Every structure is written in C-alpha cells, then in structure tokens.
Amino acid sequence: MKSTRTALIQMSCVASTDANLEKAASLVVEAAREGAKLICLPELFRAQYFCQREDHALFSIAESIPGPSTERLSAIVREHQVTVVASLFERRAPGLYHNTAAILDPASTAEHNIQGIYRKMHIPDDPLYYEKFYFTPGDLGFKAMKTSAAHIGTLVCWDQWYPEGARITALQGANILFYPTAIGWHPSEKEEFGTAQYEAWQTIQRAHAIANGVFVCSVNRVGHEQGDVNDIKGPEGAGLEFWGGSFIADPFGRILKQAAHDEEDILIADLDPQLVEVTRQHWPFLRDRRIDAYGNITSRFID
C-alpha cells in the first residue's frame, strides 16, 4: 500500500458557467502538476450557488452525465492520469434533476472515463439553501468505489451532518471520504454565530474520520455570492459568504491541511492507507460494533 497524493480545489465562482468550468479545469491541471493523483472540486463548481432562491429559469444550467463538464474534465484525467471528483447539477430526465458527484478515472473505459456517480442523498431546505426545489434525493444509496488512486467514497455537503452516510460508505471499503461542499455564513449571523457554525461543521466531519478510521476530505468554495448565473441575476441583498476552510483530516481526526476562510487554495496531502490499518488496530471501533442492537436506527424517532 502506498500513499495517495490528494488535492482539494478551494475556489471562488463567477456568473459565467463556462468561465467556472475552465477555471476548475486549470486548477485541476495545476494540482496534477504538483503530483496529485486524486483531486476533488467543490459542490456545484460550475455556477455561483443558485439555490439561494427558487427560479425555474435556473434549471437551464443543468446538464446530463456524461455531458459537457465530464467531457472537459475527462481530457485532463486521461492526459495527466488523475482521478477527479466533480460535483454537478445533473439533468437525468425532463423534470428530474439531481445534485450529483461524478468520479472520473483514467482506467475507466466508460464514456468520459466515468467510474461512477453518487447522487446526494440528504437535500436541505433552509433560508438561502432551497435545494429541495431543484434536486430529487439520490436513489443510488451510499457508495464506495475503487479508483486508480484509492478506494474512495463521495458524499455531498448536507450529507456531512449525518453519521449514517459516512458509516455505510466506510463499511463498503472506502478509506477516503470526500465531501464537495457549498456552505457559508448569512452575513447578518456571522458575528454572533460564525465561529460556532464553522467549528461545528469541521467537528462533525472530524468525528466521521475518527469513528470510521478513515481520511475525510472536505472542500468548500470561497467568496460572497448573490447567485448570479450567466445572464440570470440573483436578488439584491445580503447573499451568502462562503466560508472556505477546506480541510483534510486523518483517521485519528487530526487536521493535516486547512485552507483560509477567504482565499482560493489547492490543499495537497499524501494520504497513507497504512494509517487506516494502524488506527483501526488501536481503536477497533468496527470490531466492537453491536450490529445486533442497532435495528432501531431505521426509525424516524423512537417514541
């Protein structure tokens, strides 16, 4: 077992979806030139975060998988022999859309080197995060997959808060969990709650790393956005300030790399699968699970 050089692309987004795709592509190439073999982009990187309002016109930016984004990125995947996790607004069928992560691998013989896809399972509906208007909940379940770089699992943003998703993905053999993310502060709340919100977000994901004995890689965007997408303007007002802070945690929950809150960055770390083995030997949480006693976990609430 050898280490996998892994990169997270923390980027800002502009109104132009074409410009965002080209920027993402250039950053993936930059990471590859620094030796990364496994590269993850932030959630819905092709656009500013449009779910700040409900607007039927925005369904026009969805794309098929395979589609334009996977075609553009697969050329890089083949040239540089890297595995890429790309979070996209998927148009599956007329009127049916998902928030989907496509995993592109140079060894895959499928169209655009698509090794597999994961459709976001947990869909939020909160002020300025109106995702239920756009996205159908995933129907593929939680998935791990073997790639040329590592055995990985991908979840997406709101999935971060649910230990069940991390557990099931790890139980399928994933040694690295990726969380492409778009999360930020309501500007009016930042002073009072901003630090606590970020720390809760990081803590829950570090807990996934510890509980499952895996690496956790969470990649966010940065910048203040109104949700402008091409020629469709977002509403005037406070918008969202995306808090960046992307990080990589090891199976002991230690932060290996962490980005700033207000700058673009490429986080790179060498992830050694042997550390998964050693950590699980010393903290044998999987060994001691009482699987005979967990039946009630599938209940909404135990009255």
Give the helix ranges, DSSP H, for the chain.
17-33, 68-80, 163-171, 187-212, 273-282
Residue with tokens 């992307």: 246
Residue type, 271: L
Q: In the chain, how many H helices and how many E strands?
A: 5, 17
The residues that bridge with 146 in the sheet, in sequence order, are 151
* 180-201: burial string, b at 16+ Cβ within 10 Å, e else: bbbbbbbeeeeeeebeebbeeb
Q: How far apart are CA 123 and CA 131, in angstroms?
A: 6
Q: How far apart are CA 34 and CA 43, in angstroms?
A: 22
Element (H, E) at 93: strand 83-93
**Catalytic site positions:** 43, 120, 157
Q: How far apart are CA 10 and CA 150, in angstroms?
A: 21
- Could you give the C-alpha distances from 117 to 39, 104, 141, 172, 218, in angstroms and in order? 15, 9, 11, 15, 18
Task: Give the CB-side neighbour count of residue 58, counting CA atoms within 13 A.
Answer: 26
